[in-house]
Every structure is written in C-alpha cells, then in structure tokens.
Amino acid sequence: MAEVFHSACPLNCWDSCGLKVEVEGGKVTKVEGDEEHPITKGKICGRGRMLEQRVNSPERLRYPLKRVNGSFERISWEDALDEIAAEMKRYKQQYGSLSILHSHDYANAGFLTNLDSRFFNCFGGVTELIGSICWGAGIEAQCQDFGDAYSHAPGELFESRSIIVWGRNVARTNMHLYETLIEAKGRGAKLVVIDPIANATAKIADEYITVKPGFDGLLAAGILKELLRLHLEDKKFLSECSQGFEELRKLLESITLESISNMTEVPQKSITMLAKLYGNRPVSTLIGLGMQRYHNGGSTIRMIDAVVAASGNVGIAGGGANYANRQVGQSFHYEGITLPHRKKAHRTFTMMKQAEMMLQAKDPEIKMAFVTCGNPLTQLPNSSRAEKAFSSLEMLVVADSFLTDTAKLAHYVLPIAAAFETEDIYYSSMYHHYVNHGPKLVNPPGEAKTDAWIWGELAKRLGFENDFSFSREELIKMGVGPLQKRGISLERLRQEKFAELPVDRVPWHDHEFKTESGKFEFYQGEGGAESLLPNETKWREESIATMYPYNLLSIHPMRSNHSQHYHLLPQLPYVKVEISVDIAAKKDIKDGDSVRVWNSRGELEGIASILKQAHPNTINIDEGLSRRFGGTVNVLTPDLESDNGMGSTLYDCLVNLEKIC
Ligand SMILES: Nc1nc2c(c(=O)[nH]1)N[C@H]1C(S)=C(S)[C@@H](COP(=O)(O)OP(=O)(O)OC[C@H]3O[C@@H](n4cnc5c(=O)[nH]c(N)nc54)[C@H](O)[C@@H]3O)O[C@H]1N2
Ligand SMILES: Nc1nc2c(c(=O)[nH]1)N[C@H]1C(S)=C(S)[C@@H](COP(=O)(O)OP(=O)(O)OC[C@H]3O[C@@H](n4cnc5c(=O)[nH]c(N)nc54)[C@H](O)[C@@H]3O)O[C@H]1N2
Ligand code: SF4
Ligand SMILES: [Mo]
C-alpha cells in the first residue's frame, strides 16, 4: 500500500520547497508539494515533480565504474576505493596534496554535502575552488555596500508601494515569488520588470523596461541622476548612515542623461519614471543573478544598491535591495562540519578559471581531480578549455548519479544516492528563511551510496577514520547545534518537517551595517563611467561588435535544473536558439530554421525560435544541455572573471549568427 511522507526538494533553487512523497513497494511513486509549508504552500515546479523520474530512471548509475582501455567496466566498491585511496596517497607523497583538485558546484542543497570539505581538509588540504560562477559578483558587491547580502522575508513584500524585479526570471526560476507578486499586485503594489527579455514575469508587470544586456549599472546611474535632479533623495540617510556619496556624485556628473539613454537604449522618460517611483517609498527591489554575470557585474549591483539606499529604501518594511539571504546559511555550524583548521596545505583556484588554472598549474601540477555535486564540462564557461583541462588529468574521479559529460571523461565513476535515499536538512540562502527536513524514504538502486559513505570509506583507507566515525544523525545535530537554544533541533525538524530560522525579517532596520565604517558604503566609481560597461561592447571596442554584433544570453532552463532534467523530459531536447525580431528580419530567419552561432571561442548549431519581445540584437540559448542533445552553450561563453567576487561573465558574450541552408 502506498504511504505518503514529508520531504524537501534538494535542488539548487531559490524556493527550497516542502514536499510530500508517495512510496510504494520501496519505490518513490509520486512527488507533490506540501500544503503545510508556510512559503511553498503545496505548489511545486516540474523539476520537483520530476524527482520521481530522476530517482527511478533506468539511466541511474548502479555500480562503480572504472575506465579500462578506453571503456567503462564494472568494479567492486572495495577495489575502486582501494585504488583511489592508493593513488591519493601516492600523489600526496610524490607531489604534495595540492596536486589534487576538488572540483564542485552546489548541485545539492543538503547540509551534509559539506562533508566533502571535511574530507579534503582532514586529508591535509587540496587545491580548492573559491568564487562563484553563480552569484559571486553580486554577493561581493553587497558585502562592500552593506557588509553582507541579506534579504527581506518574502511576506514583507505586501508592505511595498512598488516592486522592481530587476533581472530575475521569477516566473521560471522562483515560482513562489511569482505567486507573491500576483498577490502583492492584487493588494495595490505597482510591479516593474527590467529585463532584456520580456519573460513571463514581464507579462504581469505594470511597466516593462527593456535594457541593453550589461547596461543596468549605467541605467542605475541615470536613475540616481534623476533622483537628485528631482530632490527625491533621502538626505538623512545620506548624511547619517552612509559614506562615499560625494565621490559617486562625481561619477554621475561625468555623464549626461542623454548619453546614458543612448548607451542603455532606455528612453529618458523611463529613467525619470523609475526615479519618481523610487522616491515614493517603500519600494522593494528584487535583484536577479542574470545581470551580474558580466565583467561589470559587481559595479552593476553596487549601483542598484546605491539607488535603493539613496532613495531611502534600505532597512524599511517593504523596501530592500533583495539579492540573497545569507542569514539562512549563517544559522548553521558550518565550521564544525568542515574542520578548516585541519588543512596543512592550501591553494585556491577560482571557479571561473579552474580549467585554465588546471592547465597552467605548477608546483605542483594538478594530477588528479575529484568532482562532486557538479558537471563542469557542461556548466563551466569556455567549455573547450574545460574539456582540455579535465581530459589532460592523470586521474579523474567523478561522483554522480548519472553518466554526465564530465563523468564520461572519468577514470572512476562512483554512483551516488539521490533525493529521498538519505536523511538531510535542506535550505537555500537565496530566498526564504525556512529549513526543511528530508528523511530517508527508499534505498538507493544497485550499489549506489551517499557521498558521506564514500568519504568515510576513503578516510579509513587514508588513516583519518576517526573524523568520520559519526552517524548522519550526529553530523546533522552538529550542524543544527547553534539553533538548539532557539528551540530548533533535529528531533523537532523530524516531527514538524520545517522550522523558521531566527533571522531579521527587515535586515538593516537599525541602519547599523556590517561594513568597516559601520555605514552603508556607496560605490565610488573608480574608473569613472567606464567601470559600468560590460567587456564585450562596441563602447569599449568597435571591432569586436562588428565581427560579433549580437548579445548572447544563456539563461536557466524552464524544465531542467541546469543539466539535471533534460534527459528525463518526454520530448527530445535540442539546442533552441531564441532570437529577437530584428535579427530574424535582418537574416530572413523563420521559426524552425537551422542556424549557426559562433564567436572566437567556439560554435554551436541549433533551431531558431523568434522571441516576440526581446531587446534588439539579443539571442538566448538556455544553459545545461549535454552533448547527446546538441551540446552546451558554454562553448561560446567567456571564462573571464567579473570585476569583483570572482564571479562569472557568462552573459558578457557577443556572437554572430547565420542561417544554415
Ligand atoms: N527552472 C529553473 N529554475 C532555476 C534554475 C534552473 O536551472 N532552472 N537554477 C537555479 C539557480 S542555481 C539560480 S542561480 C537561479 C537564477 O535565477 P535568475 O536570476 O532568475 O535566472 P537567470 O537565468 O540566471 O537569469 C535571470 C534573468 O536575467 C536576465 N538578464 C540577463 N542579462 C541581463 C541584463 O544585462 N540586465 C537585466 N536587467 N537582466 C538580464 C535574463 O533575461 C533572465 O530573465 O535560478 C534557480 N532556479
Ligand atoms: N552558460 C551558462 N552556464 C551556467 C549558468 C548560466 O546561467 N549560463 N549558470 C551557472 C549557475 S548559476 C550554476 S549554479 C551552475 C550549476 O552547475 P552544476 O551544479 O555543475 O550543474 P547541475 O547540472 O545542477 O549539477 C551537476 C551534477 O551534480 C550532481 N549531483 C546532484 N546532487 C548530488 C550529490 O548529492 N552528490 C553528488 N556527488 N552529485 C550530485 C547531478 O547529478 C549533476 O549531474 O551552472 C552555471 N553555468
Ligand atoms: S526545483 Fe525549486 S521550485 Fe521546483 S520543487 Fe524544487 S525547490 Fe521547489
Ligand atoms: Mo546558480
């Protein structure tokens, strides 16, 4: 007989949903939303529902694999772990532990995925990744301005007079915010969407502003200029709670509103409208991650923060520069789990440049890489370099549930237990401030094991088994430790399914900031207005824009979490090249035509689809597609880092396009 249990979505997503999972005969048979979850309220997206297909997929890896003479053969866990441990020992002795790279992303929101760091730290320290391809520039920007990146609680939106969704694809990537926006609109809030693509959220907006990709920092400068001209700035906040505004004023004076309008391709009257709107508090700004994936990503977010601050919208109910909510992750005892003091050697590569750094590393060279919670071959920019780097290794170990493009290059592939096959607690530092509990409901297929089990087994072979002599339960309890005094314990989570974390619902309400000065620190515009430009633009270099006249975005797919769901979809996925109407007209392209997209980094073929409303000269190819379906858009994207925070420049990418006859 089928039974229904509570659980939590483990996917890397804004929403961190509460789930109800039906289990029958030891198998997951249905995944639905949990109506009792206070934020996600029983609604979930297709990616969540498809977790049922994902765990039961016939393509799941069931046994460890070893590459022998170019093809994979089944190997026992004993042998695989003995051989991997022996190689790790040998590399450590011969070249030092830094000859091993731990490559990872954040593909699973479970707290115990952090045990990977515990393992590598206790091993003595390996070459680690820092920075973030996902949100790095924006996080650093907010740390510079506020001292940290904190958001208002979702319900605070009902206090807002206006809501600005700036570069966030809410309807697709953050569905519960979409629901809240509709409700807030119903209660009288005005909704504005700023995005080069008129996405589904733009359709419900009162005003939609289209902007040249990469020019939002300059647009924010225009809004600030108008705010000052109209005397709508919050003088008290500027004089008492902030510093650096006079320097920023110089930047604003160095460029005219007319030039800003010309470069951003936003009409002056829209800029004035936005300034007036910001002056009519409270205004909530919901900042997305798209527009900080540019060379100028950090300065863009700092300029948006500046608009929010100068207009007096910081620390008030219904306001805020809401980008991420790191209060959530900071609630747990991370260091107790990762044991950073155990590291004896230390070297870092940035996530963005990991391929290049792997290829160039000396003293020691990278001999071996261990990939967990990531699919770098598909997800890293400039993927031909990534392929070169990962195929040049003496030894590559990939732990995953599926044979991804990265796993296909490995010497050993280790099969991993997936959602519902192990107990953990789940949260996201992106949006709401609830932690969810997910119990173990079914056994993993075949011989698949949890990452934690693998770390424990390798630790035994490498002589530090004591550091892994804890049960999952004990480890989760260690993580929840600091919350015990607030009445949040693993026992309570097991019973009550989720808990509200003790965080500020209106961050910075006391106007005491975590910056060095204790004040809000305005972007000072070092480098002048040029610091607000993306890298690949005619305003920096005419010739590149002549060769490659179109902006390529590669946004997150509707039906897949990055590379994780495409192979489970009922229709065969393919490379869909979405183009703005003007490109279609110029090149005489119709829906369904085959096209080729290229730049100096690579090329990709796909099928054209005309975007009804997108900024002129804009193309989008959704990210995450593996080779078997036509390949990743990342053959085209640059691997430069953003101006701060070691973030990405994935969308700072010009291309050319032609119809294939
Ligand atoms: N369906 C789905 N949902 C997801 C994910 C997924 O893979 N699939 N991934 C999750 C993860 S890890 C993340 S990081 C989040 C990301 O969530 P979002 O930030 O919402 O999504 P992105 O796809 O990164 O891009 C967001 C938006 O930025 C816009 N954009 C691009 N360039 C510019 C610009 O220069 N200016 C402005 N104003 N807008 C611009 C794009 O048109 C797009 O609408 O989504 C999470 N949710
Ligand atoms: N062009 C372009 N590229 C992008 C982006 C973009 O917008 N455009 N977005 C970037 C962003 S925001 C992100 S966050 C990254 C995401 O990049 P990744 O995190 O690398 O991508 P995913 O496809 O989500 O997951 C990678 C793999 O992790 C595995 N996995 C899941 N859970 C576990 C686990 O518990 N243990 C182990 N060992 N493996 C697990 C999955 O099976 C999957 O194969 O992509 C980035 N790449
Ligand atoms: S992917 Fe996101 S929206 Fe979908 S079920 Fe999971 S947490 Fe919820
Ligand atoms: Mo992300």
For residue 92, what are its two tokens? 């450590």
**50, 170, 555, best to mutate for ligand 1 pocket (most atoms within 8 Å of CB):** 555
Q: Which residues of 92-110 are buried (b: 16+ CB within 10 A; e: fewer)?
A: beebbbbbbbbbbbebbbb
Which of these, 631, 528, 535, lies nearest to 577 by C-alpha position? 631
**16, 195, 295, best to mutate for ligand 1 pocket (most atoms within 8 Å of CB):** 195
Q: Is the pLDDT of residue 22 over 90?
A: yes
For residue 327, what are its two tokens? 């209060």
pLDDT of residue 181: 98
169 lines ligand 2 (CB under 6 A): no
Nearest ligand, CA of residue 421? 2
561 lines ligand 1 (CB under 6 A): yes
Neighbours of 275 (CB within 10 A): 22
Ligand 2 closest atom vs CA 134: 12
How far apart (Å, rounded) are the C-alpha atoms in residues 435 and 215?
36
48 Cβ contact partners less than 8 Å away, ≥ 6 residues apart:
9, 11, 17, 19, 31, 33
Q: Tokens 């008492």 correspond to what residue?
A: 240
Span 489-514, pLDDT tens digits: 999 999 999 999 999 999 999 999 99
Mean pLDDT of 245-250: 96
pLDDT of residue 48: 98
**What is the distance in A from the centroid of ligand 2 to the CA of 632?**
13
Span 139-195, pLDDT tens digits: 999 999 999 999 999 999 999 999 999 999 999 999 999 999 999 999 999 999 999
Nearest ligand, CA of residue 373? 2
pLDDT of residue 505: 97
How far apart (Å, rounded) are the C-alpha atoms in residues 214 and 651?
8
CA atoms within 13 A on the CB side of 49: 9
Mean pLDDT of 357-365: 97
Mean pLDDT of 204-228: 98
**What is the distance in A from the centroid of ligand 4 to the CA of 134?**
4
Nearest CA to ligand 1 atom 33: 291
Identify whether the C-beta of residue 383 lies closer than 8 Å to the C-beta of residue 351. Answer: no
185 Cβ contact partners less than 8 Å away, ≥ 6 residues apart:
191, 204, 206
For residue 150, what are its two tokens? 């904190």
Nearest CA to ligand 2 atom 12: 134
195 lines ligand 1 (CB under 6 A): yes
Q: Is the pLDDT of residue 226 over 90?
A: yes
- Phi and psi at 377, nearest 5°, equal -65, -35
pLDDT of residue 526: 84
450 lines ligand 2 (CB under 6 A): no
Mean pLDDT of 241-253: 97
Which of these, 538, 536, 511, lies nearest to 263 by C-alpha position? 538
Span 263-283, pLDDT tens digits: 999 999 999 999 999 999 999
CA atoms within 13 A on the CB side of 363: 0
Per-chain mean pLDDT for the chain: 97
Mean pLDDT of 253-258: 97
**What is the distance in A from the centroid of ligand 1 to the CA of 169?**
5
Span 373-418, pLDDT tens digits: 999 999 999 999 999 999 999 999 999 999 999 999 999 999 999 9
103 lines ligand 2 (CB under 6 A): no
Query: Helix 216-229 crosses helix 297-310 at what angle (to 10 degrees)?
Result: 20
Mean pLDDT of 48-68: 98
User: What whole-number percentage of the chain has pLDDT above 70?
Assistant: 100
**What is the distance in A from the centroid of ligand 3 to the CA of 131?**
25
pLDDT grade for 661, boundaries at 50, 70 and 90: confident
0.75 cut: is pTM over it?
yes
pLDDT of residue 637: 98
How far apart (Å, rounded) are the C-alpha atoms in residues 622 and 558?
9
Residues lining ligand 4 (ion), CB within 5 A?
A: 134
pLDDT of residue 293: 98
- Angle at alpha carbon of residue 605, lines to 293 and 203, rounded to 5°: 50
DSSP 341-369: GG-SS-EEEESTTHHHHHHH--SSPP-EE
Pocket of ligand 3 (CB under 6 A): 9, 11, 13, 15-17, 44-45, 47-48, 175, 561
Q: Is the pLDDT of residue 197 over 90?
A: yes
Ligand 2 closest atom vs CA 633: 1
pLDDT of residue 525: 86
How far apart (Å, rounded) are the C-alpha atoms in residues 89 and 600?
41
- Phi and psi at 598, nearest 5°, equal -150, 160
438 lines ligand 1 (CB under 6 A): no
pLDDT of residue 333: 94
pLDDT of residue 527: 85
Nearest CA to ligand 2 atom 26: 374
**12, 17, 565, best to mutate for ligand 3 pocket (most atoms within 8 Å of CB):** 17
Q: Is the pLDDT of residue 465 over 90?
A: yes
pLDDT of residue 366: 98
Nearest ligand, CA of residue 601? 2
**What is the distance in A from the centroid of ligand 3 to the CA of 32?**
11
DSSP 264-278: HT--HHHHHHHHHHH
400 lines ligand 2 (CB under 6 A): yes
Length, in residues, of the chain:
661
Residue 8's beta-bridge partner residues? Answer: 18
Nearest ligand, CA of residue 372? 2
pLDDT of residue 357: 97
AA letter at 204? I
**What is the distance in A from the centroid of ligand 4 to the CA of 49?**
20
Mean pLDDT of 18-43: 98
Q: Look at the alpha carbons of 206, 429, 42, 500 in this order and tell me if their dihedral is positive or negative.
A: negative
AA letter at 507? P
